[in-house]
Chain A
Amino acid sequence: MVTSQTQISQSDGTTKIALQGAFSLVTLTPLVRELTRAVADGPVTVDLSGVTRLDTSAAWAIITAQKAAKAKDQPFTIENPSDDANTVLGAVRKALPKPDRVAPAPLTLTDQLDRLGRTVASAGRFILELLAYFGLFLDRIVRSIRHPGDFRFTALVHHCHEVGVKAVPIVALMSFLIGVVLAFQGSTQLRQFGAEVFVVDLIAVSILRELGILLTAIIVAGRTASAFTAAIGSMKMREEIDAMRTLGIDVAGALFVPRILALLLMLPILGLIANISGLVGGGLMSWIDLGISPGMFQTRLIENTGIWHLLVGMIKAPFFALIIGIVGCHAGMQVGSNAESLGQKTSASVVTAIFAVIVTDAIFSIFFAQVGV
C-alpha cells in the first residue's frame, strides 16, 4: 500500500494540514485525530494537492471536521482538491445528512411485565394450536373413513417405512444396550444382598414399564419430529403448501394424516421391538455376569412379571406417537420464507417433542400409580 503523510504547519493562527499520499480506512484513525485537534485549535486549511487517492472514509473525516468547524463558526477550507477527490467529497457530502441515531429506551418494569405476559399467552396459544392440529387430524381420519378413496395409502406406506422400518436398527441397538447396562448395574447392587436373582424383575419391570417405550419415543422424536418439520417446512418455504391450497389439495389430509398415522402405527411396534431387545440384552448380561441361564431368566420373567407391566408401557405408545407427529407437523407449518426459520423450527420441534413426551410419561406414571397397576 502507498504510504500517506500529513504535514501540519501553523501560520497566523491557522493550522494548515497538507495531506500527501493515499488515504483510506487504514489511515482513518490518525487523520480523524489530527483533524479534531486542529479544529479545536482554531481555523484550519486542508491542502489536498499531494493526495494520490482519497477514499470515502477520508472524505468523511474531512467533511465531518468541516461540519464541526462550522458549528463553532470557524473557517475550514479545503484547498487544491483533484477532480477525483472532489467527486468523492461531493458523493460523501450528499450521503451525509441524516438524523442522529435514537438510543433505544431502557426497559421499564411495565415493559418486562408486558413481555412476560406475552410469553405466557403465546405458550397458551401454542398448546391450543397443537390441540387444533389434533382435532384436524381426527377430522381427516373420520373423513377418510367416510371417503376411503381419498386416503393416501401410498404415502402412509412410505412414511411407515421411513418412520418405522428404518428406525428398527437404532431402536433395537439402543434398547439392547440399556438392557445390558441395567443387568450389570443391578447385579452389582443386588449382589450385596445376595438377591442377584431379582435382577430379572428389575430388568423386566424397568424396561417393559418405562425405559423401552420412553427411550424409543425419545429416539423417534429426535429422528422423526425433525424430519417432519424439515420436510413440511421446506415445502412451506418454497410455497409448495400454498400451491397445494390453490390447487384445492387438502394440506392436512395430504401431509399430516399419513405422517401422524404412520407414527401411530409404527411407534407401538418399535416399542415392542425395544422391549424384546432390551430383555435379550438384560438376559445375556445376567447370564454372563450372574450365571442366570436363559431358561431360568425366562421362567422368572414369566412367573413374576404381570402382563400389566407390558400393557402400562404399550398404552403410552400411541400418545407419544400423536405428540411427536403433531408437534413435528405443527412446527413445519410455522416455518417462514427463509432458511433460518427452517433450522430454528426443526430444532424447536425436537426439543418440544422430547419435552412433551417426558412430561406425558410422568403424568402416566402418576396415573398408573393412582390406579394401582
Chain B
Amino acid sequence: MTEDREIVIRIRSLRNQFGSHVVHEDLDLDVYRGEVLGVVGGSGTGKSVLLRSICGLQTPKAGEIDVLGTNVLTASDDQRTALERRWGVMFQDGALFSSLNVRENIEVPMRHVEGLDKTLRAQMADLKISLAGLPYLAGDKFPSELSGGMRKRAGLARALALDPEIVFLDEPTAGLDPIGAAEFDILIRQLSKSMGLTVFLVTHDLDTLHATCDRVAVLAEKKVLVSGTMQELLDVDHPWVHEYFHGPRARAAMAAIPAMKGE
C-alpha cells in the first residue's frame, strides 16, 4: 500500500514465548493511520497474544513495539498512561465491569478527564452508547442483563469513551448471530470512517474481513506471513493462506461482498 501514510503501530522483530513454546518470532507489522486492519490466523497462531503485546498486557521476550510514536515496552508510566488514553480496547465478551451499569462503565475512562462534571460525563456516555448502536435506555442496564451482542457494543462504547485514535477489537463478531455480526461489521466501518479511527481487529470471521477491513495481515509460521488488501491476499499461493481465502466458506463470504461494500 501507500508508503507515505503515517504509521501508527510499528512492530519490529517481535518475539513472544511461553516456556519453550515460541508463539512469535521475528514478527514485523505496520498499521497505518485511518485504516481497518484485520489480523487472521489459525487457532494458536497468537493473534490475541499479538494484540495483548501491543496493549502492554503481555511483555514480549524481544522486539520493538511503537504505538503513536511511543515505544510501548520502554515507556515510563506517565507515557504509558498518556498513550492508553489514545487507544481503546474491546475484549471478546466486552469485559464490562459487572458491578456498574453500562453508562457507568463507559464513564470509567472519562473519570480521569479533569474538569468534566458528572452531568456532562453522563451525557457523553449516552452519546457513546448511541454511537455504538445501543438503544438509548441500555445505559441503565447492568452487563448481566444484556445479550452478547449488546455487551460487545457496550464494550465498544467504552473503548470509544475518550475518542481514541486507535481501537483494538478482539474477535468483535464471535458468538453473534449473522444479522448481529453484519450490523457490527457495518458499525465498525462507519465509526472508523466518521471518527477517523484506526482499527486493529483480530478475527476469524471471513465476512468481517470482507466487509470491514482495508488490509489483512495473516499470522502463520510465527510471523506476519503476508499483509495486503483482500485482493492481494487472494493471489498468495502459500498453502494455508490459499486454503483460508479460497475455502468453501471464503467463497461464500466473497459472493456477499458487493452487497455489503456498497455503503
Binding site for B on A (CB under 8 A): 24-26, 28-30, 32, 55-57, 60, 84, 87-88, 90-92, 95-96, 98-99, 338-340
Output the least CB separation between A321 and chain B (Å): 34
- B side interface size, CB within 8 A: 26
Q: Which of B98, B113, B117, B196 contacts A340 (CB 8 A)?
A: B98
Q: Which residues of B contact A96 (CB under 8 A)?
A: 127, 130
> Which residue of A has the minimal Cβ distance to B196?
A84
Interface of B is mostly: helix
Give every chain B residue within 8 A of A25 (Cβ-Cβ): 110, 113, 116, 124, 162-163
Q: Is the CB of B190 within 8 A of A338?
A: no
- Contact yes or no, A95 B131, CB < 8 A: yes
Question: A99–B194 contact, CB under 8 A?
Answer: no
Known A55-B195, A56-B163, A87-B193: A340·B144 in contact at CB below 8 Å: yes
Partner of B124, one of A28, A30, A90: A28
Give chain A residues whose Cβ lies under 8 Å from the Cβ of B240: none
Given A26-B115, A84-B196; 7 other pairs, CB 8 A cutoff:
A25-B124, A26-B113, A56-B195, A91-B195, A98-B126, A339-B98, A340-B144
Taken together as a complex, chains A and B put the C-alpha atoms of A30 and B115 apart, in Å, by 9
**Contact of B114 with A by CB under 8 A:** yes
Q: How far is the CB of A86 from chain B (nearest CB, A)?
A: 9
Q: Mark B184-219, 1 if CB is under 8 A from A, else 0.
A: 000000110111100000000000000000000000
Set of chain B residues within 8 Å of A338, measured between Cβ atoms: 98, 144
Q: Tell me, rounded to whole Å, the shortest Cβ–Cβ distance linking A225 to chain B.
A: 24
Contact A92 B127 (CB under 8 A): yes
- Partner of B194 from the list A24, A87, A98, A340 (CB cut-off 8 Å) is A87
A residues near B131, Cβ cutoff 8 Å: 56, 91-92, 95
**Chain A residues within 8 Å of B123, by CB:** 60
Q: Is the CB of B98 within 8 A of A57?
A: no
Q: Are B194 and A90 in contact (CB under 8 A)?
A: yes
Measured CA separation A30–B190 after assembly (Å): 29
A89 nearest CB neighbor, chain B only: B194
A152 to B: closest C-beta gap in Å: 34
Q: Which A residues are CB-close (under 8 A) to B193?
A: 87
Instruction: Report which of A26, A88, A99 forms a contact with B136, defined as CB distance below 8 A.
Output: A99
A57 in contact with B190 (CB, 8 Å): no
Among A32, A56, A87, A340, contact of B128 (Cβ-Cβ < 8 Å): A56
Report if B120 contacts A (CB, 8 A).
yes
- Listed by A's residue number, 28 A-B pairs whose Cβ atoms lie within 8 Å are A24-B162, A25-B110, A25-B116, A25-B162, A25-B163, A26-B114, A26-B115, A28-B113, A28-B116, A29-B116, A32-B120, A55-B195, A56-B128, A56-B131, A56-B163, A57-B124, A60-B123, A60-B127, A87-B194, A87-B196, A88-B194, A91-B190, A91-B191, A91-B194, A92-B131, A98-B136, A338-B98, A340-B98
* Among B130, B191, B195: residue with most chain A CB under 10 A: B195
Q: A87-B193, A91-B195 are in contact. Are A28 and B127 (CB under 8 A)?
A: no
Give 7 closest A-B pairs by Cβ, nearest first. Answer: A91-B194, A55-B163, A95-B130, A98-B136, A87-B194, A95-B131, A29-B115
Q: Which residues on the B side are within 8 Å of A90 (C-beta)?
A: 194
User: In whole angstroms, how far apart are the Cα atoms of A300 and B25 in the complex?
Assistant: 78
- Chain A residues closer than 8 Å to B162, beta-carbon distance: 24-25
Q: How far is the CA of A24 from the CA of B98 in the complex (A)?
A: 28
Give every chain B residue within 8 A of A29 (Cβ-Cβ): 115-117, 120
Are A57 and B115 also in contact (CB < 8 A) when A87-B194, A338-B144 are? no
**B116: A residues at CB distance < 8 A:** 25, 28-29
Complex contacts, B144 vs chain A, CB 8 Å: 338, 340
Query: Which B residues, 67 to 126, have Cβ-Cβ distances below 8 Å to chain A?
Result: 98, 110, 113-117, 120, 123-124, 126
Which of chain B's residues have a CB closer than 8 A to the CB of A56?
A: 127-128, 131, 160, 163, 195
Query: B190 touching A95 by the CB < 8 A rule?
Result: no
B:153-200 near A, CB below 8 Å: 160, 162-163, 190-191, 193-196
Q: Find the A residue at minimum CB distance from B164.
A: A55
Q: Within the assembled complex, what's the spacing in Å between the Cα atoms of A339 and B162?
A: 29
Residue with the highest number of chain B CB atoms closer than 10 Å, among A25, A30, A96:
A25
